[in-house]
Structure 1
């Protein structure tokens, strides 16, 4: 039985790395939000601000029942609100500025009051006119009853939010998962198909028992489809048990053959090492180490 080759191990690491990277990018794309730069505005906020302004203009004119028309957006920078009633133009700059402040809109803008019928510019000003407490042009005018369009044009367009499209990364992650699963299954088949080392006359260090093989010199155990590295004492104990398969070995006999070179032997050592070997052999259903009460142990091979 051979260990996985370095090529297979590298392939696995590469697949795991690609899968982790793809999933990381997918997570970032799905969970991240594009930060809104200072001064940017949204259609919803401008809509609310204009409707708030129209409401206060109507209230100032003593109108609390008229319906406010819907805000239109003919271009990304431009918003229009139809006003079918008279209003005090002097109140417009302050109310509009206050509404934008409430909705945290800080972009520079131009205001135009247009005639509904002709589209002609009746009045207008720029937000720059209000800087440093400057007055806006055309003050002191009240708009007579009629139809007007309040038009606000921003210096920058409304940022358009792009929907997050994570399907390409999700598909890539799926492909990588599939490749990883195929690689692992292929490697598992290779491991299962690997034959146990053949016992040869020129290699007396190999001891076969059941579906397992012990390489005494290499201190290696192949149990079923798994390979384990043994300590010096584990290999020595298993060699004694495997050399007397299906025979009862007394505890004193085991201690003498395995621990005699230490000078001092402890009976409990046998139990500890037998417990370790049982765990290493659990992948081979044809082999088990049985305890013979009051006598010792027997390696049973079916």
Structure 2
């Protein structure tokens, strides 16, 4: 059956390309998530610096500097100032809430105002994504001018977790696609190279001339029809193996667009009669599965 190996090869290339495309797509999306996280974290540091800037303005200081924002832990930052300042808790809460609302990763966080001298907490509060869980105290009480640092600790984000879940969650899908790929490329028995070139296949004492649709024994020939030859060729490629009925129907009649169950039975019956003179070759019915070409020594 010329063209069949090329068709299978094309399917293999298609499936391999599909798996490769899916793998590259998953890796690309996963690492784009990480890239987005890096951008959001850099943006967060700018927002923190702006919080410090607005606190100085609210304190009446428009000249001194906000010192570089320090990242002291994975999700913890420290804002410090060049000079002393005073602050209103109401304004501090309002400012941090307004500016950090622009940070997509800042859903829950704790703010502590620390004394520079001993890092004791002068004032603190907690903001949650659910406002009912906010913890805010001492509103309306102005704090004295002193050296303060603003410590802001964010709840761990799900960015890296999401990336890991995305990667790990995709593995079963890739494994499933790979399983389908391996099934589709399951090696099939093929005749020796010289038989493929000449179309001559040895079936026990019988020589099957697939190109000329003949069975040859001791110089005597038995003619086969085109369909009989195609059916026998499928059996000849997998001798002593069960060939599913559905496979025979698909490979023989798929191109014609119509598959009739009785047609297969009819051609199998005709082929059996032509093989009757050769007792070492039999087409056996495997109930509920299909047929098998049995070749004995």
What's the TM-score, normalizing by structure 1? 0.45
Q: Which of structures 1 and 2 has the larger relative contact order (alpha carbons within 8 angstroms, sep 6+)?
A: 1
TM-score (norm 2): 0.46
**Which is helix-richer, 1 or 2?**
2
